[in-house]
Amino acid sequence: MALTGMDVSAVRTLANQLSAKADEIETIAGSLSSQLDGTQWLGADADSFRGDWQNTHRTQLQNVAGALRDASTRASQNATQQEQASSS
């Protein structure tokens, strides 16, 4: 009887990639924030744009990065559980 299981190595690779992409998103968001902070732009439009960036767009990027980290953690936990189940 054949059982379908998990390729633990592939799932661990996926977990690492999810975490790396979360890092990339955080780096990009930080870079864009720095660029915006360094841009000479005054007035109501600038204030509105900066507010949208900080309160909406950057927050959404942080949420995506957090979700990727959560998925990475869950994949790692699942791989560990599979290893434990397989060794029993």
3-58 pLDDT, tens digit each: 568 999 999 999 999 999 999 999 999 999 999 999 999 999 999 999 999 999 99
- Give the helix ranges, DSSP H, for 1-88: 8-37, 44-52, 58-87
Length, in residues, of the chain:
88
Handedness of CA 8, 11, 17, 21 (dihedral sign): negative
Q: How confident is the model at residue 85 (pLDDT cuts 50, 70, 90)?
A: confident
12 Cβ neighbours under 8 A, 6+ residues apart: 75, 76, 79
Name residue 65's amino acid.
Answer: A
Name the amino acid, one letter, at 36: L
Structural domain spans, the chain? 15-37+44-87
